[in-house]
Amino acid sequence: MPGPLDHTHGVLHRVTGFPEWDGFPLRDALARRLGVPVVLDKDTNAAALCLAVAGEVGAFAYLHLGTGLGAGLVLGGDVYRGARTGAGEFGHQVIQMDGPLCSCGNRGCIEALCLAAVERGDMDEAARVLGAGAANLAVLLDVDLVLLGGRTVAAHPECFVRGVGAVLDELAQREGAISPVPVRVASGGARAVAEGAAQLLLAPLFGRAEG
């Protein structure tokens, strides 16, 4: 599912686009209905897990731009969910204090600014906004790599790699870094989320720690 949600307890929070689901225990409801084990996690975490299992190494951030904007973080070889499993709510970092109202209730969230640019058809501006968020992540977590995915990125891959990369290049120049954080489109395409979701159940059974 899109986030935010509680991975540990299987409960949805104010999911992007579906605020009425806040507090719904989806994992247990599905387990009762289907009669099989169910794991509830964010689509971005699933995609990040897929990438890690497929061989991406080091610390990386997977940024997913589609209906909303989220991130999956892999630190130390594992998906990082945080103390309350809320890590990766990348789209709701405020970068413009007096910006447009976001569905989360804040103003100037990167998701609201980025999606507004996409709606206008200004992909260069959307990429620049996404790059600003990626630069914040790079400064905060010192990741080795930024990977981009989601259907909006898939429709304009060169534009988003170029735009996000330009912001990360500027960051490296300001900080005097030897080289900027590299950025590229994530492998796996549209299958990454589905394959990662399968890994949430299969990986523990076949010897890889869950997430």
| 211 residues of the chain, pLDDT tens digit each | 888 899 999 999 887 777 789 999 999 999 999 999 899 999 999 999 999 988 898 899 999 998 889 999 999 888 999 888 888 888 999 999 999 998 888 999 999 999 999 999 999 999 999 999 999 999 999 999 999 999 999 999 999 999 999 999 999 999 887 889 999 999 887 788 899 999 888 876 665 554 4
Model pLDDT, residue 89: 86
Determine the Cα–Cα distance for residues 89 and 198; give it in Å rounded to an integer.
22
Residue 167 counted as domain residue: yes
Residue 126 counted as domain residue: yes
Residue 210 counted as domain residue: no
Determine the Cα–Cα distance for residues 42 and 171; give it in Å rounded to an integer.
29
CATH of the domain at 123: 3.30.420.40
Planar angle of CA 89, 76, 53, nearest 5 degrees:
85
Model pLDDT, residue 206: 62
Residue 196 counted as domain residue: yes
76 burial level (CB within 10 Å; 0-12, 13-18, 19+): exposed
Residue 194 counted as domain residue: yes
pTM of the full predicted structure? 0.90
Residue 150 counted as domain residue: yes
What's the pLDDT tens digit per position in 41-84?
Answer: 999 999 999 999 888 988 999 999 988 899 999 998 889 998 88
Give the number of domains in the chain. 1
Determine the Cα–Cα distance for residues 23 and 20; give it in Å rounded to an integer.
9
Residue 84 counted as domain residue: yes
**Other CB atoms within 10 Å distance of the CB of residue 158:** 10
Structural domain for 187, as ranges? 42-205
Which secondary structure element, helix H or strand E, spans residue 196, and what is its range?
helix 191-205
Model pLDDT, residue 161: 98
